[in-house]
Structure 1
Amino acid sequence: MSRRTVPLLLAAATVAGLLVTAGSLPGAVPTASAASNEDCRPDGLARTAGAEVPYCQNYDTAGREKLGAEHSRRVIGYFTSWRTGKNGAPSYLVNNIPWDKVTHLNYAFAHVDKDSKVSVGPDGPDNPATGMDWPGVPGAELDPKLPYKGHFNLLTKYKAQHPDVKTLISIGGWAETGGVLNPDGKRDATGGYYKLTQSQADINTFADSVVAFLRKYGFNGADIDYEYATSANFAGNPDDYTISQAHRGDLVKGYVALMKTLREKLDAASAADGKYYMLTAAVSASGWLLRGVETYQVTQYLDYANMMSYDLHGSWNEYVGPNAALYDDGKDAELAFWSVYTTPQYEGMGYLNSDWAYHYFRGAMQAGRINLGVGFYTRGWQGVTGGTNGLWGTAALPDQSKCPPGTGGTVNSKVPCGNGAVGIDNLWHDSSAAGDEVPSGVNPMWHAKNLEKGVTPDYLAAYGLDPKDPKNQISGTYAANYSSTLAAPWLWNDQKKVFLSTEDENSLATKSKYVADKGLGGIMIWELAGDYGWSATANGGKGEYTFGTTLIDKINDGLRGSAPYGATKSNDTTPSDVLNVDVSYTGFALGDNNYPITPKLHLANNSGQAIPGGAKLEFDYGTSAPGSMSDQSGFGLSVTSKGHSGPNVGGLKGDFQHVSVTIPSWQSIPSGSSVDVTVRYYMPIATPSNYKLTFGGKSYALSTDNPRGSGGTQPTSTTTGPTTTTTTTTTTSNPCGAPEWASATVYTGGQTVSHNGHQWKARWWTQGDEPGSTGQWGVWQDLGAC
């Protein structure tokens, strides 16, 4: 996500280390609210000790977010602060939002101020968030009862009319991750998140201010848009390199501390206010950036992740490709340059596409907590040579001494910077500090549609483009092209050799079906003001494309009626008994040195019992990395089942690579002790999940996964001298005490039945649906064998 168009608890009790809900403790009296709170907590979402979080306000008893009667998947729209109409350009205000077509609205952007607090700038009549008004604009009349004006006033007003829509304040973005964008458009590189996350005291101050901000303005949560907490060299805004480069080795650690603190503070506020506060994040989809984010340890703190599955190609280098391809086609010119397709360890897998990014995050969290990002804007080049109608051609800036900071040879001498499109092909351009146009081929989709139709628009001057300048006049034909392999459209002007990567109804229909079929949570849009509709002269219009809802309508059409999203991390039945064992990964090399990727798997036993030698540890990681993980510690770790192998043209086939390792017979792990295993893999993975530890004839889930409905039994042990003898004691009642399922009976959410030797819980109303036949996302949740 960028403002600028250059890329870039329920308190759980612990008994002898076993997590159990309060209601299962001996002598404990369960309360209805406590039981329902844990029942509603999403699988994998971290608890905050001591906070009785009202999860059931926001989630149902399957841990799925409540989205209102008209939606089974999220449609998240970013609404930006700067399209106010006060600068002469057409306005896009809160009343222009298609409120009936979205489930969430993210307001972009707030920032970190000099006092380490969240801020939208100084109050006053020029502040679009809290001070502006729009007299005479129908629908933009302010609510005089509110103590603030601006967009926040209108958001509060319209939200009262659409109570199912949730609003979040998005903090950061390209320009304000490491600085502050002032009202005059100038930017101060104050340090932002880069500075904030160096100090836990500052993080605490910031998190407290976020809570106060949400309470003051009525937002449902905070969306953290940190671009980027990665050790990748020269990532992020080049204006921030003086601080970001100096802290590359600390950025991930600080990011994790920030998100953990925010989760805890928001959970405490949720418990105190009786109102659930969300925490989300805009997350990178680029394999290059993600290699420097270790294992994306913040996923456990997020209600959901919004993948920025765009800005995957752009004029920061010469390689001409799609902004937001859904799939790889095996021909990506940038990946080919870096020998990705021919390096055996990569197995021909391309990592600059949405499908790869989804499977990266799927390794750490369920499909329903992942949203696919789409861009309602273009990126483009001029002077393109080679390729198929420009696709996978090259377009180097003729004078490489004039590359903008942070692009091409300014950060890597091997890669030329790109020749970004300008003028009429660059309507939504930014300006440099000197006031010059930044060439990048960025346009709202309504402007791209006018180019395609050959319409000379009347709004060029309002965007700083002189209509008399030849570069700002339409010439040649902008022909629409589409790759069904990539699910990516583009415009190609053969006369001008201009390539503009677009989004259209075909690509969004395909992406919506992808989201629906794979069980993703939904689609996130950057940004709503880029959508288009035709302004017909017959209806008093101008005979050109302008703001509209064509693309969001296509998204809603594709998601309407889809089944509930995937709510469980594992595709298999998870053991009902949970051991208090933590697994983490440490010791990553920085940036480009992080290859092959060789961290230490750190297993910490906090269970109160010894884990004996011979215990078997299993886990999954996403198919974003080949199924070739191994260890360098002599433990014999190996991938025992592959969800995918080989190239990923057309998409990765399965979700997980499954790993198994046996603790050596001589390596008992006493309680309070740990063991490290150095592992090796070759492409980025998000935090492995679905851990299972088996010994003494019984399997256990691990607390590190934050599993839903923690409970059951754990082993007891007796120790004589150095030898530990482990036995299993079972204290739970027979789960098949539940009544037998009957096809004619009506069941409602939360009711349990027994069927075919398993116990099942209904997630919602059902009749006639046989347990075991409805799939992992269906009505019946398998609680395990009786």
Structure 2
Amino acid sequence: MSKTLMLVKSGLAAGAIGGVALVAGTAPTHAPQPAQAAAHVVKTAAASCADPAWNATTVYTGGQRVSYQDQTWQAKWWTQGNTPSAGDASPWQLIGQCGGGTPSDPPLVQVPPPTGNALCRPEALAQTGGVDVPYCAAYKQGGAEQLANGSRRRIIGYFTSWRTGKDGSPAYLASDIPWNKLTHINYAFAHVDGNNKLSVNETAPGNPATDMSWPGVAGAEMDASLPYKGHFNLLTQYKRKFPGVKTLISVGGWAETGGYFDASGKRIDSGGFYAMSTNADGSVNQAGINAFADSAVAFLRKYGFDGVDIDFEYPTSMNDAGNPLDWTIANARRGALNKGFVALAQTLRDRLDRAAAQDGRYYQLTAAVPASGYLLRGMEAFQGLRYFDFVNVMSYDLHGAWNEFVGPNAALYDDGKDAELARWSVYTTPQYGGIGYLNTDWSYHYYRGGLPASRVNMGVPYYTRGWKNVSGGSNGLWGTAVGGNCPTGLKTCGDGAVGIDNLWHDLDEKGQEVPGGSNPMWHAKNLEKGLAGSYLASYGVDPSLPINQLVGSYQRNYNATLAAPWLWNASKRVFLSTEDEQSLAQKAAWIDANNVGGVMFWELAGDYDWKPQRNNGQGEYFIGNTLTNLLYNAFSQPAKVSARRADASPAPTAAIDVGFSLGGFKLGDQNYPINPKLTIVNRSQTTLPGGTEFQFDVPTSAPANIADQSGFGLKVISAGHSGNNIGGLKGDFNRVSVKLPSWQSLDAGQSVTLDVVYYLPISGPSHYTVGLNGKTYAIRDEAPYLPYLR
């Protein structure tokens, strides 16, 4: 590996800020707001500097004195070109202050404190310069979100467009949503159309969003005063009754990230998010992004949604990631996808903030984001996080029939036995530190590198994943099931469950069942109880088969270390990974203990209740609210555990304008070890002398072995976690330190770049500080209202 060290001049507006590379043409987040116009420099009286100013070309011998930055320095021995700085290795000794105060009281530019809407801006959310964004319409002072129904954490349910009942299967309409138990509803899905605009095929006759109706269904009557029918008509009506519940339009998803379904149901391979955000030559498609962002604003205004949820699966540089139908266009753009995603997030933030200021209501921007360490390795340091109000981590689909490794859909913790990770030597490769990365707890800690805990929500599945013909394992857990008829694009796959064990089956492009063991949880509960549901025929299962042939015996199992339940049918060797009240209660307690923002679930129609009148009066499980009620009851009552402190980093009282960024990432498949370049740019007017110390936090999603390859001695000085993560990571952050060499200084506008190396993906970093002349400074990107050193 190369060991590079670069020192370059850069303009004060150049570089990257807060760990995030700026997109061309972007103003820094600390661009002065109107309230900052009265900023002024404050100096305290001190003796004038009588000694000559230090000069880099002059030779000094022991005992000679110079003045430098309002301080008197004395040479300890012969020196030339060494910037005056403190430290045993420095040839200079600080004598005292002259002309500008004391070392602990440097000249600072005072910044007026935030007022008005700025008091409600969520912590670390990117600002749109020059715009008075009405944050206080959605957030409280201090940045906590105003949540509906008395909940103290977010409860976000996805509502799908296709469960209309028109195909004979059970319907799930807006009238079925437990509006009094939720804080947010995401409508799934809109798509990116061929003109790079947000669409739900709303002009097509009979489309479910705006032109469908359900005559005779109580609670689903259309409001004729609205200019549209369909789901949106019902959502608008119920939103009037529950105005605190926020509704967002979710764009993309697995099937419509790289294309879309037209009005006839045919999939159009348009390129979707991939083509809208990036060009074939690897450049950002800003024209496409602008068209989409403008259409999103128009869409929100037309239909009354409170925001946009981006479900881009996935802007990763890992080859063959995402839907195989998208690989042709996605693989050619892998090196540009993260850059395009950041530009998309930044542009949407700008357009939504400007629209919010005009409309006097706040528009949220959120994202559904991956949980797998494999996918995240190809998403650099997830530089776009700062633009989202919050992210919803898809901490499910961590195991499924796309490969042969039989395991939990959504384990809370690692147990050190994950068969997929063991296969690829993750537990035995020393650099990984024994950390397993296919679990909810790991993915939460990954996102803590770039976001406060309050802006991260964890996903739970209201559905199952499963395999048939499972061999080995403990009642199937960590066994294998190798498939022979793989879906399009997959050379190898698992032997996914089918038939009655795959009730919510997807269809491939040929209309054939995709094996995967996908069932609503209410069906899984009936399998557990040995019941053949009365609804089977509507899903294509012959209900006349003998009950033992149809269902068989499903034994419920629970692994407390994983916090994961599953059903095991020994006679059929079928394994179905489930989610139920026991596992969800354990996750809710974990969310409280870690002060996580809340929970998101896919999807509302998968929840269950026991219905005693159904199935000819014998009773059965069917669509209900048991799991959602559990979450609401947990989060509407006082927390039973003490929430972990949000941050444990120092709290400086002043700031300095120094920028940091990670860049130069290799494509994901070649990105091991992860070996980007850390660039530090001095945007202040103060020279940073040799010995200046920079500290920052990296999340414990990566072991505490981050280092540099440039001779700067970058190292972890405080480990938040060590060893494996069985039962969860113990702390949120590893604290990192790196110092300028004693012989090197950074003048105004200069930057230094060093190679760093780590072994599991991180977001961020964050919580930067600069140690200068015995004082610790925050950086202005993270602390825009602190007085700052010029």
Query: Aligning the two structures, in what range does the TM-score lie when normalised by the shorter sequence?
Result: 0.7 to 0.9
For residues 610-662 of structure 1, the C-alpha deviation after alignment (integer angstroms, 9 at most, x for no partner) is 32222110000100000000001111110000000111000000000000011
Change (3 A) 1:468 1:207: same
Tell me whether 1:138 sits opposite 2:218 in the alignment. Answer: yes
Match of 2:579 in 1: 503
The answer (yes or no) to whether the contact 1:445–1:530 under 8 Å persists in 2 is: yes
Change (3 A) 1:538 1:294: closer
* Residue from 339, 344, 351 that aligns with 1:265: 351
Alignment of 1:133-282 (within 5 A): 133-198=213-278, 199-282=285-368
Alignment of 1:632-643 (within 5 A): 632-643=709-720
Match of 1:773 in 2: none
Q: CA deviation at 1:69?
A: 5.3
Distance 1:580 1:567 in 2: 30
* Residue from 590, 604, 607 that aligns with 1:531: 607
| Paired amino acid for 1:174 | W
Match of 1:404 in 2: 487
Distance 1:568 1:145 in 2: 49
Tell me whether 1:327 sits opposite 2:413 in the alignment. Answer: yes
The answer (yes or no) to whether the contact 2:33–2:129 under 8 Å persists in 1 is: no
What value does the CA root-mean-square deviation take over the aligned residues? 2.5
Distance 1:628 1:19 in 2: 40
Alignment of 1:195-594 (within 5 A): 195-198=275-278, 199-397=285-483, 399=484, 402-407=485-490, 410=491, 416-467=492-543, 474-537=550-613, 543-562=619-638, 570-594=647-671
Q: Bigger shift: 579-588 or 567-576?
A: 567-576
Change (3 A) 1:16 1:513: closer
| SS of equivalent to 2:116 | helix
Q: CA deviation at 1:696?
A: 2.4
Distance 1:185 1:115 in 2: 18
Match of 2:751 in 1: 674
Distance 1:581 1:155 in 2: 47
The answer (yes or no) to whether the contact 1:13–1:20 under 8 Å persists in 2 is: no
| Paired amino acid for 1:269 | A
For residues 445-481 of structure 1, the C-alpha deviation after alignment (integer angstroms, 9 at most, x for no partner) is 0011111111112222212334457899524201110
Distance 1:52 1:688 in 2: 28
Match of 1:726 in 2: none
* Residue from 698, 713, 717 that aligns with 2:788: 713
| SS of equivalent to 1:380 | strand
Distance 1:467 1:186 in 2: 31
| Paired amino acid for 2:607 | D
| Paired amino acid for 1:403 | C
Change (3 A) 1:363 1:34: closer
For residues 290-311 of structure 1, the C-alpha deviation after alignment (integer angstroms, 9 at most, x for no partner) is 0000001111001101000000
Change (3 A) 1:541 1:40: farther
* Residue from 761, 765, 772 that aligns with 1:688: 765
| SS of equivalent to 1:250 | helix
Distance 1:302 1:660 in 2: 28
Q: Bigger shift: 466-475 or 315-324?
A: 466-475
The answer (yes or no) to whether the contact 2:593–2:643 under 8 Å persists in 1 is: no
Match of 1:102 in 2: 182
| Paired amino acid for 1:195 | A
Distance 2:336 2:193 in 1: 21
The answer (yes or no) to whether the contact 1:456–1:473 under 8 Å persists in 2 is: no
The answer (yes or no) to whether the contact 1:310–1:375 under 8 Å persists in 2 is: yes
Distance 2:505 2:472 in 1: 26
| Paired amino acid for 2:662 | Y
Paired positions, count: 690
Q: Bigger shift: 694-703 or 31-40?
A: 31-40
Change (3 A) 1:613 1:213: same
Distance 2:356 2:539 in 1: 43
The answer (yes or no) to whether the contact 1:42–1:567 under 8 Å persists in 2 is: no
Distance 2:583 2:249 in 1: 29
Distance 1:82 1:34 in 2: 45
Q: CA deviation at 1:21?
A: 5.1
Change (3 A) 1:121 1:538: closer
Q: CA deviation at 1:684?
A: 0.4
Distance 2:31 2:361 in 1: 31
The answer (yes or no) to whether the contact 1:531–1:551 under 8 Å persists in 2 is: yes
| SS of equivalent to 2:512 | coil
The answer (yes or no) to whether the contact 1:72–1:565 under 8 Å persists in 2 is: no
* Residue from 103, 112, 117 that aligns with 2:197: 117
Tell me whether 1:78 sits opposite 2:158 in the alignment. Answer: yes
Distance 1:243 1:63 in 2: 40
| SS of equivalent to 1:455 | coil
Distance 1:59 1:573 in 2: 26
| Paired amino acid for 1:550 | T
| Paired amino acid for 1:606 | R
The answer (yes or no) to whether the contact 1:314–1:320 under 8 Å persists in 2 is: yes
Distance 2:775 2:191 in 1: 50
Q: CA deviation at 1:581?
A: 2.5
Q: Bigger shift: 348-357 or 464-473?
A: 464-473
Q: CA deviation at 1:576?
A: 3.3
For residues 143-187 of structure 1, the C-alpha deviation after alignment (integer angstroms, 9 at most, x for no partner) is 211111111111111011001100000000001110002343321
Distance 1:643 1:711 in 2: 27
For residues 650-707 of structure 1, the C-alpha deviation after alignment (integer angstroms, 9 at most, x for no partner) is 00000000000111223222222211111100000011000001102322212343x4
Match of 1:616 in 2: 693
Q: CA deviation at 1:125?
A: 4.0
Q: TM-score, with normalisation over the residues of structure 1?
A: 0.84
For residues 246-265 of structure 1, the C-alpha deviation after alignment (integer angstroms, 9 at most, x for no partner) is 11111111101100111111
The answer (yes or no) to whether the contact 2:33–2:130 under 8 Å persists in 1 is: no
Structure number, greater radius of gyration: 2
The answer (yes or no) to whether the contact 1:307–1:373 under 8 Å persists in 2 is: yes
For residues 273-300 of structure 1, the C-alpha deviation after alignment (integer angstroms, 9 at most, x for no partner) is 1111100000000000000000011110
Match of 1:772 in 2: none
| SS of equivalent to 1:263 | helix
Match of 1:756 in 2: none
Which consecutive residues of structure 2, in runs of 5 or more, have no partner in the other structure?
1-25, 42-109, 279-284
Distance 1:226 1:386 in 2: 36
The answer (yes or no) to whether the contact 1:43–1:567 under 8 Å persists in 2 is: no
Which consecutive residues of structure 1, in runs of 5 or more, have no partner in the other structure?
1-11, 411-415, 716-786
Q: CA deviation at 1:109?
A: 0.3
Q: Bigger shift: 555-564 or 221-230?
A: 555-564
Distance 1:539 1:122 in 2: 37
Q: CA deviation at 1:575?
A: 1.9
Change (3 A) 1:362 1:565: farther
| SS of equivalent to 1:584 | strand
Q: CA deviation at 1:33?
A: 12
| Paired amino acid for 1:105 | I
